Each structure stands twice: as structure tokens, then as C-alpha cells.
Amino acid sequence: MRVEDIQQVLIVGAGTMGQQISLQCAMHGYDVALYDISGHALARAMGWVNTYAQGLVAEGRLTAAEADAALARITTTADAAHAAREADLLSESVPEDPELKAKVFARFSELCPARTIFTTNTSSLLPSMFAEATGRPAQFAALHFHQYVWDSNVVDIMPHAGTSEQTVRLLHAFAKRIGQIPVLCRKESPGYVFNAMLNALNRAAITLAANGVASVEDIDRAWIGVMKMPVGPFGILDHVGLETAWRITKHWADALRDPELQANAEFLKRYIDKGRLGVKSGGGFYDYPNPAYAQPGFLTAETDSKSGQN
């Protein structure tokens, strides 16, 4: 397959990343099928996709006509066979569970045409963990996006040992066609490039809070104040989603039998159990849409110990 042959993109998983990848592909002229097992999730997803599109219109990055055209290219379905029928490229964004991903790929391997290229948007798992389940390991690699896809427009391409060179070249060309900067990982490595650096920061930040060294707010103040960044690690985690962060942390805690990561997972789970999932739920470490770290006096404010004690 040539990049010119890709017409229909199948997005599996209608969560935050599935929504953003769908819109990014549609904005660049691709027909998109957004699949999820839940009709409710699909309805919620299209609400967010529309919000993202209108935000880009408000910023002057899309015209109203361009936004309408992009939205018209996205169809939603909970019918896996219908979603798979015309797929040229599949992008998977289901939760960070290797067994679940393997089941999803095995299912779509039965339904998709033989030509379909399979990709995973996994944040921290390795494509070799479920390459065989795809039924087409030579046509499979990680194609990992960052939030927000249209702003943080770097995409990691991570092949596994069985990925063909043709697939790597095709994904490189496709990434450029949807306005992304492709970064090629020469071998498998957890977290790709940027996420490997970010994960180290997040682990350090969560460990400090879990051990009671400093509050969530003060840890973010340290990062924002020294690095002159608009957001700290806990604000970033709210955007990633605390469920995603917990799944990644718990997976590696169990795999490595790491007590520090286990304590970090338990710290994150306390927020999840209270329904504080991050930006998408209106609250995580901070309350949204107007988080404390975005307020003018955040760096000089007295420590708000509430979050650090949750």
C-alpha cells in the first residue's frame, strides 16, 4: 500500500485520544470511522469533537466551513464489522491493558481487509506485546500521538522487530499528511521519546506527594517557577487523565514489583475512587475549567494543602 491509497481511517476507542486523532485525520481530508462498544461513549465523544472543532474556529485556525466539512467526514458506530469494512489504516486507543489490546486487535484482524495497516496509540506498552494478535505483525507498529494533537503535533513511530520497512515508511508519510512531525524510534523502548522523559518527571512528582514531602500545589509551583512553564506535572496528569496514569503506573508496579510505583498507584487510585479523573470529569488534582495553576496569583499564593491530603 502507498500513502495515497489510504482513504478511510478507523479509530478504535472513543476516549480523549481517539476523539482528537479522529478530528486531526478528518481535518486533513480523511474519512474517519470512530468505533467504540458504547453508544453513550460515542455520543459523548462527538460532543467533544465538536467542541474541539469550534475552539479551532474561534482561534482562527479553521473556518466554519472547514470545521463543518471535517465533522461531516467522521461517522460513529458501535458495529465492529461495519467500522472495519473499508478501513485502510486502524488507530487503536483503548485502555492501557495489554490483554485488552490483544483481544481488540484479534477481533479486528478478523474483520478488516488484508491491506489494513494496524497501529497502536499506547502510551507506555510495547507493540511486541500484542503484535501477533494483530494477525499481521509486519503491518503493525505504534503510532503514538500527544495532546492536543493539533498543538503538540509530534507523533512517535515505534516498530517492533517484525514490522516491515514498508510499513514504517508508510506511517512516516501518513504522519506528515495529517500535520504531524514523525519521530522514529529505532528500537522498542517504554514511553517512546517525549513520554519517557515526561514519565520520569511524573513519577518523581507523584512520589514526592505520595510520601508527603510537599503538596500537589507546591510541587507544581516548584516546576512552574523554576522552569517558567505554564503548567506543572500534576496539571499535566489531569490532562492525561488519572485513570490512564493509574493504569500505566499499576502495570509497571506489578511487572517490576516496584514498591515505589505501587505506592504511587495507590495515591492516584484515591483520586479516581472519588470520581476525580482529571479535566474530563471537571476535577482531578485541580478543579476545571479554571484550575488554580492558571490563576495569576498561583505562584505566590499560600499552599493549598487540600489536594496533597487527598
DSSP β-ladder status, 181-184 and 154-159:
parallel
The pLDDT confidence band at residue 41, using thresholds 50, 70 and 90, is very high
Q: What is the pLDDT of residues 145-200, one digit of tens each?
A: 998 999 999 999 999 999 999 999 999 999 999 999 999 999 999 889 998 999 89
Rounded CA gap, 238 and 157, in Å? 25
Question: Given this structure, which CATH class describes domain 3-184?
Answer: alpha beta
Rounded CA gap, 164 and 139, in Å? 7
Please say whether the beta carbons of 108 and 34 come within 8 A. Answer: no
Rounded CA gap, 305 and 243, in Å? 23
Q: What is the pLDDT of residues 76-103, one digit of tens each?
A: 999 999 999 999 999 999 988 899 999 9
Q: Where are the domains positioned within the chain?
A: 3-184, 194-300
Rounded CA gap, 245 and 203, in Å? 10
Element housing 174 (H / E) = helix 165-177
Model confidence at 40: pLDDT above 60: yes
Model confidence at 305: pLDDT above 60: no
Residue type, 206: I
Model confidence at 309: pLDDT above 50: no
The CATH code of domain 194-300 reads 1.10.1040.10
Q: Which residue has the higher pLDDT, 307 or 303?
A: 303
Q: What is the pLDDT of residues 226-270, one digit of tens each?
A: 999 999 999 999 998 999 899 989 988 998 999 999 999 999 999
For 214, list phi and psi in degrees, rounded to 5.
Answer: -155, 165
Cis peptide before 289 (omega within 30 of 0): yes
**Of 164, 20, 52, 256, which Cα lies nearest the Cα of 9?**
20
Q: Is 60 left (phi over 0), alpha (psi -120 to 50) or beta?
A: left
Rounded alpha-carbon distances, angstroms, from residue 62 to 2, 20, 71, 153, 286: 28, 15, 12, 16, 30
- What is the pLDDT, as a whole number, of residue 304? 52
Please say whether the beta carbons of 307 and 217 come within 8 A. Answer: yes
- What is the pLDDT, as a whole number, of residue 1? 86
Model confidence at 307: pLDDT above 50: no
Model confidence at 302: pLDDT above 90: no
- What is the pLDDT, as a whole number, of residue 306? 47
* Mean pLDDT across the chain: 95
- What is the pLDDT, as a whole number, of residue 251? 87
Task: Count how many Cα atoms sit within 13 Å of the Cα of residue 97 in the half-sphere of its side chain.
Answer: 7
- What is the pLDDT, as a whole number, of residue 23? 98
- What is the pLDDT, as a whole number, of residue 248? 87
